[in-house]
């Protein structure tokens, strides 16, 4: 046996892999500390595998499966999610186990055919269908749009184990321990927010629907497709509460100031606003120069904090390109329930404030005060307006829980 396979619960094993090579998840989102692709094996009278791993790791993945099972065949593959970071090894799997039956829902079947040409040996399940493996039962819950249409979860009532797909997952490889009780989970919670805001953030309503569906289920283990396996009650409560909060677009008292600045003038407005907000009691302030901060981190912080201030110079009669990109990402994620303010600089035609005003109106943001406009460079009047903006935002944030 090459690998010592981690047993999570009676007959449930972890056979996932770590990826510390890829720079960008989905070729978009930075992976400074890697990522894990989690797959699970239930070695019962019938053997079931839950999801696979990215195709780049098929080889080590199969060596792990072999270490767990030896020559025993796999009867079922449950596909909770078809995105290729989890379905990428399905073709390899079929070559190794030609008799395997692939389980998914009707939308999974369409994707199996489309991505991999698979139409045989498939079993389409419906919501709350069950499949007995021996001592363990698989019960399937359809949870569409977290964050693809076919996403579903699989629950084993005997061990109260939920295989949740991407939900409750995090960026970050598993460096040593796989289960939360054998690692320090602190860092992962922030990465869960970044993962949620980047990947799932658009789908608040489907997440709420899924949480409602799961609310009557007794859960003692959460096996996501990324990050730690959650087994400690405190952590399970925390990750479910976090998903509830994020999907309702609720946020902590704190402020994000995201700005673009070509020559530093607009940036000086951002500095004055931040200092004023701090003087008026806001301790959690995050400033993002959009030309340097990755949008992945800005989105995380916008999902974390209640206050949002955006500043942009006018550029070709439009917004600064990095700000344009940011508001597009916020629009895409239906961001709401934020206290909003904005400011801008221009040299001959003031267009950025108009665009930011349109964004605020479109998103139904509560605009806390008049915007601050600056022509050419900072003056005493403009600085005073910026101080007022920071003060009013702080006062509004302090009034909210």
**Which positions touch ligand FEO (CB under 6 A)?**
81, 83, 85-86, 147, 166, 225-226
Asked if residues 229 and 8 have their Cβ atoms less than 8 Å apart, the reply is: yes
User: Please, which residue, 148 or 315, has the CB nearer to ligand FEO?
Assistant: 148
Helix (H) or strand (E) holding 269: helix 265-279
Q: Which two tokens stand for residue 2?
A: 């090459």
User: Please, which residue, 26 or 130, has the CB nearer to ligand FEO?
Assistant: 26
In whole angstroms, give the CA distance from residue 228 to residue 234: 14
Q: Closest distance between ligand FEO and the C-beta of residue 225, in Å?
A: 5
Q: Closest distance between ligand FEO and the C-beta of residue 16, in Å?
A: 11
Question: Measured at CB, which residue is nearest to ligand FEO?
Answer: 83
Q: Closest distance between ligand FEO and the C-beta of residue 86, in Å?
A: 6
The SS3 call for residue 379 is: coil
Q: Closest distance between ligand FEO and the C-beta of residue 87, in Å?
A: 9
In whole angstroms, give the CA distance from residue 384 to residue 42: 65
Asked if residues 340 and 306 have their Cβ atoms less than 8 Å apart, the reply is: no
| Residue for token pair 């819950």 | 141
Asked if residues 175 and 183 have their Cβ atoms less than 8 Å apart, the reply is: yes
| Residue for token pair 């805001």 | 197
In whole angstroms, give the CA distance from residue 36 to residue 18: 4
User: Please, which residue, 81 or 333, has the CB nearer to ligand FEO?
Assistant: 81
User: Please, which residue, 83 or 180, has the CB nearer to ligand FEO?
Assistant: 83
**C-alpha dihedral over 385, 389, 394, 400, to 10 degrees?**
140
Asked if residues 302 and 250 have their Cβ atoms less than 8 Å apart, the reply is: no
User: Please, which residue, 200 or 274, has the CB nearer to ligand FEO?
Assistant: 200
Residues 140-174 as b or e (16 or more Cβ within 10 Å = b): bbbbbbbbbbbbbbbbbeebebbbbbbbbbbbbbb
Q: Closest distance between ligand FEO and the C-beta of residue 246, in Å?
A: 16
User: Please, which residue, 91 or 388, has the CB nearer to ligand FEO?
Assistant: 91
User: Please, which residue, 29 or 76, has the CB nearer to ligand FEO?
Assistant: 29
User: Please, which residue, 226 or 300, has the CB nearer to ligand FEO?
Assistant: 226
In whole angstroms, give the CA distance from residue 71 to residue 83: 28
* DSSP conformational letter for 258: E
Q: Which two tokens stand for residue 106?
A: 């009707």
Closest Cα to residue 7, out of 64, 73, 72?
64
Q: Which two tokens stand for residue 237?
A: 């409560």
Q: Closest distance between ligand FEO and the C-beta of residue 273, in Å?
A: 37
User: Please, which residue, 15 or 308, has the CB nearer to ligand FEO?
Assistant: 15
Asked if residues 166 and 146 have their Cβ atoms less than 8 Å apart, the reply is: yes
Q: Closest distance between ligand FEO and the C-beta of residue 281, in Å?
A: 39
Q: Closest distance between ligand FEO and the C-beta of residue 93, in Å?
A: 17
Q: Closest distance between ligand FEO and the C-beta of residue 85, in Å?
A: 5
Q: Closest distance between ligand FEO and the C-beta of residue 82, in Å?
A: 9
User: Please, which residue, 329 or 341, has the CB nearer to ligand FEO?
Assistant: 329
Could you tell me if residue 92 is left (phi over 0), alpha (psi between -120 and 50 degrees) or otherwise beta?
alpha
């Amino acid at each position: 046996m090459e690998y010592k396979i981690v047993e999570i619960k009676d007959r449930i094993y972890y056979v996932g892999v770590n990826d510390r090579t890829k720079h960008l998840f989905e070729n978009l989102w930075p992976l400074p500390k890697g990522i894990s692709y989690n797959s699970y094996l239930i070695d019962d009278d019938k053997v079931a595998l839950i999801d696979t791993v990215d195709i780049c790791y098929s080889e080590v993945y199969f060596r792990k499966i072999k270490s767990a099972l030896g020559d025993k065949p796999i009867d079922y593959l449950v596909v909770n999610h078809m995105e290729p970071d989890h379905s990428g090894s399905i073709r390899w799997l079929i070559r190794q186990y030609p008799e395997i039956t692939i389980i998914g829902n009707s939308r999974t079947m369409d994707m199996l055919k489309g991505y991999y040409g698979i139409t045989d040996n498939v079993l389409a399940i419906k919501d709350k269908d069950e499949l007995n493996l021996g001592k363990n039962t698989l019960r399937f819950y359809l949870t569409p749009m977290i964050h693809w249409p076919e996403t579903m979860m699989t629950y084993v009532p005997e061990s109260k184990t939920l295989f949740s797909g991407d939900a409750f997952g995090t960026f970050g490889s598993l460096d040593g321990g796989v289960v939360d009780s054998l690692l320090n989970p602190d860092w992962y919670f922030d990465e869960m927010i970044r993962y949620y805001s980047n990947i799932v953030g658009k789908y608040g309503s489907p997440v709420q629907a899924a949480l409602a569906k799961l609310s009557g289920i007794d859960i003692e283990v959460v096996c996501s497709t990324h990050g730690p396996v959650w087994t400690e009650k405190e952590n399970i409560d925390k990750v479910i509460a976090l998903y509830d909060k994020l999907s309702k677009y609720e946020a902590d008292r704190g402020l994000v100031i995201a700005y673009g600045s070509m020559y530093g003038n607009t940036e000086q407005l951002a500095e004055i606003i931040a200092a004023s907000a701090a003087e008026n009691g806001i301790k959690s302030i995050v400033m993002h120069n959009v030309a340097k901060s990755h949008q992945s981190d800005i989105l995380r912080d916008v999902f974390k904090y209640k206050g949002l201030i955006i500043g942009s110079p006018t550029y070709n009669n439009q917004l600064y390109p990095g700000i344009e990109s940011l508001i597009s990402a916020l629009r895409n994620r239906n961001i709401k329930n934020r206290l909003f303010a904005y400011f801008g600089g221009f040299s001959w035609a003031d267009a950025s404030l108009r665009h930011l005003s349109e964004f605020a109106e479109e998103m139904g943001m509560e605009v806390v005060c008049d915007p601050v406009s600056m022509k050419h460079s900072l003056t005493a009047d403009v600085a005073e307006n910026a101080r007022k903006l920071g003060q009013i935002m702080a006062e509004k944030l302090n009034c909210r829980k």
